[in-house]
Structure 1
Amino acid sequence: MSTADLESENARLRAELENLRLKAEKSRLEAEIEETDKVFGRELKQTLVMVAVGIVIVVVGIAIALVLDGAS
């Protein structure tokens, strides 16, 4: 092989290596995004449950106040 052939092969291999690195980085980022979505979904569900419990507590408190007010 001539020097030009070796340089051409070297450039091709470097480009292929960079392509593989980019694919690996893309896969890593996609996995990270998926995990973030799962965590965000869990946190959102927990927040909605806490809001619902808060609303129930307020409604029950108002109902108790009305019952006690009506009893007096």
Structure 2
Amino acid sequence: LKFGDRTQIGAIHLATSLVADLQLIAAAMVWGYAAHITADGLTGEMTARVVSLSGGALFANVVSVVILIAETIMQRR
């Protein structure tokens, strides 16, 4: 993430980073709720939700890295 960058690629990097952060926060909240608040504990359904949210965060980070590599390759010196 480049601070002060006002290009469209910079905005996409920021967006993918925010998506990954929000999904990881949501996964942590679901896990915390399942493990500490519900009477059933961490069931298979709750585990699937946590894995789905963290998988989405992983995908957003992969997209960000691919965009960064493409930007680096296309950069002219």
**TM-score (normalised: structure 1):** 0.47
Instruction: Give the helix-richer structure, 1 or 2.
Output: 1
In terms of Rg, which structure is larger? 1
Which of 1 and 2 has higher RCO (CA within 8 Å, sep 6+)? Answer: 2
**TM-score (normalised: structure 2):** 0.45
